[in-house]
């Protein structure tokens, strides 16, 4: 049998094993079999990585680098990414089961994140202040925070790294990235491009391993100024608690239970495609998954015919095949959790219209059929909790006010979809829905220019867009006394 590929970590510009030389297996969800080994980081490795990032932050090779030059570096990284889309797509598909067609499309677009932030490099500027004191010249400038920690989940390892990495670096920070133990390989492959682009050693460090082993030492480390986290609620609570130790600033991008609302005047075909994109794209393992579908009762039957007839034709298969439309879920744990939710949905009296089980023709690997539940009321666990799998809950409504209330009756606040041809209604609802992202007549659209993030149990902070760069900086205010006159009374404020 062929030996499994082995990945080391990347600390201070060097590839390194963990301090105790341990590796763990990473699985291919399409086969359920291990396909590579990844270095199992320890607290000592965290210490090495954070110290390397801290040193690099003060080292002149990075600290004195002009913003323009940092922009060139980031652009170069974007170019290298463009040249390596095919290979990186394959690594991510093998490691987390995401469709190769989606990965190629995603990674073909991803260089835009680097180009966008590279373009902002020389616009990270301060202001002169119209100060109300005589003989004082006062200005502010934006400076980097220091060492940033990025913690990413398994569902979109590269994208969710890029959206943190690009603004953090362009602002002049250094970074330690901890990818998910379930999907570290694509980032480690991408790290070879970071190396090639020529970032000084220690500016980007990757520590791999289990969150339970190294998460605390990473997020509570006194040298860490900011933690950018995407993942689950339980981990987020832990990170918030740890921030009481080092007062690290946080951005938390957690899950959702996002509503997709279809009105009777909508283009039903597009709305059905948007519904499928929302809940069955990425096998439903998306923070913005449109897992609650609210259908106006006038078009309920017509819409369901369109939806169901397309979902029945969805091709479940090997994610490496270009024609597969649903691949496996990323972990066995996640698959079993989805199965438990389906059981609960049935126990609660939901009507299972489609799916609800592992597909018979895919015996190997962690596959699950696209699943649709119909509910007459918006209550019960599966209409409230994030399932993070291909499970859709459908509910009818008849009035605008009613659906706003239903859509907002969730502990989450990440995303929402509205399908209507009434432009006024589109605007009205966008305002009233409690969600950080609202899509009208589209779903799952992304861009580096448009921030993402949520409220309530979906977390806080935004990623992407201009403000994201500002989040990776802090303002410094500088006062210059332009007068040479003798100082007056030193015991009063000036
Ligand atoms: O996330 P975890 P899990 C949701 C989704 C899913 C649930 C749990 O509902 O079912 O969260 O997923 C690292 N300190 N989302 O358990 O554990 C971990 O190693 C520091 C939504 O996989 O939070 C990984 O790198 N870090 C979400 C990262 O946190 C720790 C995407 C995420 O893993 C840690 C994923 C600790 N104590 C899950 N423990 C989205 N917003 O897209 C773990 N980690």
277 and 174: one domain?
Answer: no
Burial (CB count <10 Å: 0-12, 13-18, 19+), residue 225: buried
| pLDDT of residue 364 exceeding 80 | yes
Angle at 233 between CA 227 and CA 234, to 5 degrees: 95
Catalytic residue among 36, 112, 189, 287: 287
Expressed in angstroms and rounded, the spacing between residue 228 Cα and the centre of ligand 1 is 12
Q: How far is the CA of 180 from the centre of ligand 1 (A)?
A: 8
* Other Cβ atoms within 10 Å of 104 Cβ, number: 17
Residues 274 and 224 in one domain: no
**CA of 424 relative to ligand 1 center, distance in Å:** 38
Ligand 1 interacting residues, C-beta cut-off 6 A: 151-155, 178, 180-181, 211-212, 215-216, 219, 230-232, 235, 238-239, 253-255, 287, 386, 388
Q: How many domains does the chain have?
A: 2
Structural domain for 100, as ranges: 5-254+458-477
For 257, residues 6+ apart whose C-beta sits below 8 A from its C-beta are 291, 292, 383, 384, 385, 386, 410, 411, 412
445 domain-assigned: no
Are residues 48 and 31 located together in one domain of the fold?
yes
The strand pairing partners of 391, in sequence order, are 371
Strands 259-262 and 415-419: parallel
On whether both 249 and 278 belong to a single domain, the answer is no
Tell me the pLDDT tens digit for each residue of 237-257.
999 999 999 999 999 999 999
Evaluate whether residue 37 is within a structural domain: yes
Check the CA dihedral 213-181-15-111 and report its sign. negative
Question: Are the beta carbons of 302 and 262 closer than 8 angstroms?
Answer: no
Active-site residue flag, 381? no
Q: Are residues 49 and 63 in the same domain?
A: yes
Q: What pLDDT digit, counting tens, does each position of 28-69 carry? A: 999 999 999 999 999 999 999 999 999 999 999 999 999 999
Residue 317's CATH number: 3.40.309.10
| Distance of alpha carbon 199 from alpha carbon 76, whole angstroms | 10
CATH number at residue 139: 3.40.605.10
- 402 has catalytic annotation: no
pLDDT interval class at 388 (50, 70, 90)? very high
Q: Answer whether 0.95 is exceeded by the pTM.
A: yes
Whether residues 142 and 32 share a domain: the answer is: yes
Nearest protein CA to atom 11 of ligand 1, as residue: 232
Q: How many residues does the chain have?
A: 494
Residue located nearest, by CA, to atom 13 of ligand 1: 211
Query: At 312, is the pLDDT very low, low, confident or very high (cuts 50, 70, 90)?
Result: very high
Q: CA 420, CA 136: separation in Å to the nearest integer?
A: 56
First-to-last C-alpha distance (Å) of the chain: 77
Pocket of ligand 1, candidates 41, 176, 211, 444: which has the most ligand atoms within 8 Å of its Cβ, to mutate? 211
Nearest-atom number in ligand 1 for the CA of 160 is 42
Residue nearest to atom 6 of ligand 1 (CA): 232
């Amino acid at each position: 049998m062929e030996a499994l590929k082995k990945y080391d970590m990347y600390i201070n510009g060097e590839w390194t094993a963990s301090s105790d030389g341990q590796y763990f297996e990473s699985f291919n969800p399409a086969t359920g079999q291990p396909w590579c080994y990844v270095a199992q980081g320890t607290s000592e490795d965290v210490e090495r990585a954070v110290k390397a990032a801290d040193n690099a932050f003060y080292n002149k090779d990075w600290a004195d680098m002009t913003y323009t030059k940092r922009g060139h570096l980031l652009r170069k990284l974007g170019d290298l990414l463009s040249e390596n889309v095919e290979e990186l797509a394959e690594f991510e598909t093998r490691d987390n089961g995401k469709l190769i067609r989606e990965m190629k499309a995603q990674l073909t677009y991803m260089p835009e994140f680097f180009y966008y932030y590279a373009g902002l490099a020389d616009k990270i500027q301060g202001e002169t202040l119209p100060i109300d004191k005589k003989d004082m010249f006062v200005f502010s400038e934006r400076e980097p925070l220091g060492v940033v920690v990025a913690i990413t989940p398994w569902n979109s390892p590269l994208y969710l790294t890029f959206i943190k990495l690009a603004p953090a670096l362009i602002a002049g920070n250094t970074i330690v990235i901890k990818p998910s133990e379930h999907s570290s390989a694509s980032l480690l492959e991408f790290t070879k491009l970071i190396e090639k682009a020529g970032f000084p050693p220690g500016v980007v460090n990757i520590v791999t391993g289990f969150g339970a082993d190294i998460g605390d030492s990473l997020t509570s480390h006194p040298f860490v100024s900011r933690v950018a986290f995407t993942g689950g609620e339980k981990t987020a609570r832990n990170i918030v608690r740890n921030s009481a130790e080092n007062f690290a600033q946080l951005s938390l991008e957690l899950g959702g239970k996002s509503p997709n609302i279809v009105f009777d005047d909508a283009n039903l075909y597009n709305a059905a495609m948007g519904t499928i994109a929302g809940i069955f794209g990425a096998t439903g393992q998306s923070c913005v998954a449109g897992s609650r579908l609210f259908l106006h009762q006038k078009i309920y039957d017509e819409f369901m015919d369109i939806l169901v007839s397309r979902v029945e034709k969805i091709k479940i298969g090997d994610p490496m095949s270009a024609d597969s439309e649903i691949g496996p879920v990323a972990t066995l744990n996640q698959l079993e959790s989805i199965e438990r939710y389906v059981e609960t949905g049935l126990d609660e009296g939901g009507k299972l219209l489609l799916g609800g089980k592992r597909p018979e023709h895919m015996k190997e690997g962690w596959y699950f059929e696209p699943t649709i539940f119909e509910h007459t009321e918006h209550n019960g666990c599966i209409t409230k909790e994030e399932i993070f799998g291909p499970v859709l809950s459908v509910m009818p409504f008849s009035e605008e006010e009613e659906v706003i209330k239903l859509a907002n009756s969730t502990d989450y606040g990440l995303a929402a979809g509205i399908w209507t041809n009434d432009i006024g209604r589109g605007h009205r609802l966008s305002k009233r829905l409690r969600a950080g992202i609202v899509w009208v007549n589209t779903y799952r659209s992304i861009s580096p220019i448009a921030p993402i993030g949520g409220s309530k149990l979906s977390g806080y902070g935004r990623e992407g867009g201009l403000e994201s760069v500002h989040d990776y900086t802090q303002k410094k205010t500088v006062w210059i006394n332009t007068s040479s006159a003798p100082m007056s009374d030193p015991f009063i404020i000036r």
